[in-house]
Amino acid sequence: MTTENSADGIMRDSIDIGSGVRLYYEEKGKGRPVVFLHGVWGSSRFFQRQISWFGDRYRTIAVDFRGHGRSSMTLHGQTVETYAQDLHAFLAALGIVEPVLVGWSMGSFVIWDHYRQFGKCDIKAMVNIDQSPTDYKWADEPRGFITFEMLRDWLVATQTNRNELAKAIVPMMFKDPITDADFRWMYDEMIRAPEAIAGAILYDQSVRNFASVITGFPMPTLLCFGADEAMQTLESARWIQAACQNARLEVFEHSNHCPFLEETDRFNAVVDAYIRELD
The domains of the chain, with CATH numbers, are 3-278 (3.40.50.1820)
Q: DSSP state, 45?
A: G
What number is the average pLDDT over the span 146-167? 97
User: How many residues are there in the chain?
Assistant: 279
H/E stretch holding 99: none
Percent of the chain with pLDDT over 70: 98
Q: Based on the residue annotation, tell me whether 14 is a catalytic residue of this protein.
A: no
Q: To 5 degrees, how large is the angle CA 110–CA 67–CA 233?
A: 40
- 63 versus 2: the higher-pLDDT residue is 63
Residue 1's pLDDT band (cuts 50, 70, 90): very low
Residue 12's pLDDT band (cuts 50, 70, 90): very high
Residue 58: is its pLDDT beyond 60? yes
Residue 136, classed as helix, strand or coil, is strand
A 10 A CB-CB count for 269 gives: 12
pTM for this prediction: 0.97
pLDDT at residue number 143? 79
Residue 114: is its pLDDT beyond 60? yes
* pLDDT per residue as tens digits for the range 78-110: 999 999 999 999 999 999 999 999 999 999 999
- 194 versus 144: the higher-pLDDT residue is 194
Cα separation, 131 vs 223, whole angstroms: 9
Among the listed residues 194, 202, 226, the one whose alpha carbon sits nearest the alpha carbon of residue 75: 194
Read off φ and ψ for residue 176, nearest 5 degrees. -115, 160
Q: Based on the residue annotation, tell me whether 130 is a catalytic residue of this protein.
A: no
- 174 versus 6: the higher-pLDDT residue is 174
Residue 180: is its pLDDT beyond 60? yes
**Integer angstrom CA distances of residue 198 from 5, 95, 207:** 30, 30, 15
Choosing from 105, 132, 206, 255, the catalytic residue is: 105
pLDDT at residue number 6? 55
Choosing from 44, 135, 228, 255, the catalytic residue is: 228
Which parts of the chain fold into alpha helices (H)? 48-55, 80-93, 106-118, 148-160, 162-172, 180-190, 195-206, 211-214, 234-243, 259-262, 264-278
Find the distance separating the first CA and the last CA of the chain, reported in whole Å: 34
Choosing from 38, 68, 114, 257, the catalytic residue is: 257
What number is the average pLDDT over the span 181-207? 98
Cα separation, 39 vs 256, whole angstroms: 14
Cα separation, 235 vs 135, whole angstroms: 13
Q: Based on the residue annotation, tell me whether 105 is a catalytic residue of this protein.
A: yes
pLDDT at residue number 4? 56
Residue 192: is its pLDDT beyond 90? yes
- CA 56 to chain centroid: 21
Among the listed residues 51, 116, 52, 59, the one whose alpha carbon sits nearest the alpha carbon of residue 87: 116
Residue 208, classed as helix, strand or coil, is coil
Residue 3: is its pLDDT beyond 70? no
What number is the average pLDDT over the span 15-33? 97
The most distant pair of C-alpha atoms in the chain lies apart, rounded to whole Å, by 53
Sequence-separated (6 or more) residues with CB below 8 Å from residue 140: none
Residue 11, classed as helix, strand or coil, is strand
Q: Which amino acid belongs to residue 11?
A: M
